[in-house]
């Protein structure tokens, strides 16, 4: 076979203790669900080949093309606060890296492709439902402009996976800037393997933070780079109402991308204490807890870098602590700027954040839908005659009316036309997010009726989240009472 995927595998050139080499797992009946053709082209891959029988065998993890060097990466992690010294890719394999059209190195990983030396008691497989969920949400995040792993393709395997029921098996081809996690550093730190930490730090500096190479203390520049990207990322999550659901340190990317779409969900009604994940009993990863958990995870990352920061332990700790203090201000700056954009404020005044917070509080008290309030508020920028759609979202619309008086006082002090403000607000406030009930409906149709049309339609709608799509207007709606999704589940 000629090499249809021009792999260049830098991770497989790292020391052998960074991963385990693995062989493809034969599956009974690989079948394509979908290739993300636009992404394939962006990666410099041939979408027609990916859709060919050979391509589908590859996407299902059944057979590897030339140049693939399948490995399962080693990592550790804090899961719900408990340190597990060995996790690793238990149901995924990194098949290789390609250089995309913009010169960026990107991993191609198959998730759900069968057991590896890191599978522990798991079967290494993924079920169709979580694969469709990850495809939809990761691509929706990309369209919303949020750093994320992407989905290149999904395929079914013909195998049955046993979970709470017998489910169709599937594989997701995931694309990431890299799959190095906070937990990858923790794996070596737990083994007191300072040499591996140094090698790994060099690898990620070359790959993600080349500017850190020239810093006085590259490890510090690396830490600060990761802090900044995570602060920005988590701010972006909050601004669209995203709840990751399992912010374990093994699910925090060093490159600053959203990774590992398990029991993630988007808010409907605005509620900072909201948790969907069925395994998050104490709300550790609630919507509003994400910034503080982000900092907690970054502190674990900083600990792994101590040997590189200074030979003197106390000095190393002082450097790490100082670097971590960036997180709060960086997060706030990104979050507050985003809140201003959402509310259509083009200048910064004291009291702005308090003003937007008052709206958020009113949403919580009045069961108002987060996404729709801001989307309709854009129309209200044209004047109070356009308030009805947004005010109706509040149980007590007069609460909105009172807030709107303050808002208009504030916006009235800016030299921005109503039309321009509306345009700016519509660009900051999506109409379409991957609502939980829509995802559930897609999964049900695929599983119960082998009908993937709803999947295709939802993907298409979510690829243009900021455009009105009158023919799909219903996709912007929150769930009816009977459609509400109360809990989401891990894919495991
Ligand atoms: P996750 O909750 O998806 O972030 O996974 C946490 C850890 O459990 C990782 O080491 C995974 O590789 C492993 N894991 C999850 N599901 C499975 C499975 N079905 N088989 C083997 N390992 C798994
Ligand atoms: Mg994970």
Q: Averaged in consecutive runs of 10 residues, what is the pLDDT profile of the chain (492 residues)?
A: 80 98 95 98 97 97 94 98 98 97 98 97 96 98 98 97 95 98 98 98 98 98 99 99 98 98 96 93 96 98 98 98 98 98 98 98 98 98 98 98 98 97 98 98 97 98 98 96 83 56
In Å, what is the CA distance from 418 to each residue of 121, 371, 379, 429?
59, 21, 9, 16
Tell how far the Cα of 339 is from the centroid of ligand 1, in angstroms: 35
Which ligand 1 atom is nearest residue 161's CA? 19
Which ligand 1 atom is nearest residue 251's CA? 4
Tell how far the Cα of 185 is from the centroid of ligand 2, in angstroms: 14
Contact (Cβ atoms closer than 8 angstroms) between residue 226 and residue 178 = no
Distance CA 491, CA 164 (A): 11
Which pLDDT belongs to residue 492? 52
**Most informative mutation of 22, 73, 80, 91 for ligand 1 (most atoms within 8 A of CB):** 91
Distance CA 119, CA 407 (A): 54
Instruction: Enter the tokens of residue 259.
Output: 């990774």
Element (H, E) at 243: strand 242-243
- Closest ligand relative to 76 C-alpha: 1
Distance CA 424, CA 194 (A): 49
Q: Which of 185, 169, 173, 68 is nearest to 128 (CA)?
A: 169
Which pLDDT belongs to residue 3? 61
Three-class SS state of 183: helix
Instruction: Enter the tokens of residue 107.
Output: 């991993």
Which pLDDT belongs to residue 177? 98
Q: Which residue in the list 107, 232, 250, 369 is annotated as catalytic? A: 250
Which pLDDT belongs to residue 478? 95
State yes or no: is 250 an active-site residue: yes
CB 262 less than 6 A from any atom of ligand 1:
yes
Where are the extended beta strands (E) located within 65-185?
A: 71-73, 77-79, 82-84, 92-99, 105-111, 126-127, 150-162, 166-176
Q: Angle, nearest 10°, between helix axes 194-208 and 218-240?
A: 60
Tell how far the Cα of 91 is from the centroid of ligand 2, in angstroms: 10
* pTM of the predicted model as reported, rounded to 2 decimal places: 0.98
**Most informative mutation of 89, 90, 161 for ligand 1 (most atoms within 8 A of CB):** 90
Q: Which of 171, 180, 188, 174 is nearest to 127 (CA)?
A: 171
Location of structure tokens 């990322």? 233
Which pLDDT belongs to residue 206? 98
Q: Angle, nearest 10°, between helix axes 182-190 and 290-309?
A: 50
Cα end-to-end span (Å), the chain: 34
Let me know if 395 is exposed, middle or buried by CB neighbors in 10 A (0-12, 13-18, 19+). Answer: exposed
Instruction: Enter the tokens of residue 269.
Output: 């009604």
**Most informative mutation of 122, 129, 278, 279 for ligand 1 (most atoms within 8 A of CB):** 122
Distance CA 365, CA 435 (A): 21
Half-sphere exposure of residue 461, counting CA atoms within 13 Å on the CB side? 27
166 C-beta neighbours (distance < 10 Å), count: 9
Distance CA 87, CA 250 (A): 8
Distance CA 97, CA 9 (A): 5
Tell how far the Cα of 378 is from the centroid of ligand 2, in angstroms: 37
What lies within 8 Å, CB to CB, of 204 at 6+ separation is 178, 180, 222, 254, 255
- Closest ligand relative to 88 C-alpha: 1
């Amino acid at each position: 076979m000629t090499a249809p995927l021009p792999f260049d595998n830098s991770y497989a050139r790292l020391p052998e203790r960074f991963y385990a080499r693995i062989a493809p797992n034969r599956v009974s009946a690989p079948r394509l669900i979908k290739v993300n053709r636009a992404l394939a082209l962006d990666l410099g891959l041939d979408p027609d080949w990916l859709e060919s029988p050979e391509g589908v065998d590859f996407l299902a993890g059944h057979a590897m093309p030339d140049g693939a060097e399948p490995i399962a990466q080693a990592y550790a992690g804090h899961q719900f606060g408990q340190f597990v010294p060995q996790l690793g890719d238990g149901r995924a394999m990194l098949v290789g890296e390609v250089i995309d059209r913009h010169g960026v190195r990107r991993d191609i990983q198959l998730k759900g492709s069968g057991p590896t030396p890191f599978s522990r008691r798991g079967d290494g497989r993924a079920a169709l439902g979580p694969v469709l969920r990850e495809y939809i949400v990761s691509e929706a995040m990309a369209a919303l402009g949020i750093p994320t792993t992407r989905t290149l393709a999904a395929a079914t395997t013909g195998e049955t996976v046993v979970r709470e029921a017998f489910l169709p098996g599937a594989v997701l081809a995931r694309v990431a800037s890299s799959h190095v996690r906070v937990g990858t550093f923790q794996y070596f730190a737990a083994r007191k393997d300072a040499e591996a930490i140094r090698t790994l730090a060099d690898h990620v500096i070359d790959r993600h933070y080349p500017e850190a190479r020239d810093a006085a203390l590259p490890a510090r520049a690396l830490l600060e780079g990761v802090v900044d990207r995570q602060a920005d990322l988590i701010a972006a999550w909050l601004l669209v109402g995203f709840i990751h659901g399992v912010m374990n340190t093994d699910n925090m990317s060093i490159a600053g991308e959203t990774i590992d779409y398990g029991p993630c969900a988007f808010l409907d009604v605005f509620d900072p204490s909201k948790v969907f994940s069925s395994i998050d009993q104490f709300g550790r990863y609630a919507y509003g807890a994400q910034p503080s958990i982000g900092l907690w995870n970054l502190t674990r990352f900083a600990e792994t870098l101590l040997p590189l920061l200074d030979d003197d332990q106390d000095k190393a700790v002082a450097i790490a602590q100082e670097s971590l203090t960036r997180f709060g201000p960086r997060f706030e700056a990104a979050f507050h700027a985003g809140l201003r954009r959402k509310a259509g404020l083009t200048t910064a005044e004291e009291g702005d954040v308090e003003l937007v917070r008052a709206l958020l509080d009113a949403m919580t008290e009045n069961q108002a839908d987060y996404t729709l309030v801001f989307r309709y508020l854009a129309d209200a920028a044209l004047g109070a005659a356009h308030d009805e759609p947004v005010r109706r979202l509040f149980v007590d619309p007069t609460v909105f009316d009172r807030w709107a008086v303050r808002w208009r006082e504030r916006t009235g002090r800016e030299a921005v036309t109503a039309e321009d403000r509306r345009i700016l607000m519509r660009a900051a406030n999506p109409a379409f997010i991957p609502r939980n009930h829509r995802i559930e409906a897609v999964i049900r149709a695929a599983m119960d009726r082998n009908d993937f049309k709803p999947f295709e339609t939802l993907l298409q709608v979510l690829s243009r989240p900021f455009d009105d799509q009158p023919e799909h207007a219903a996709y912007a709606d929150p769930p009816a009472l009977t459609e509400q999704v109360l809990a989401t589940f891990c894919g495991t």
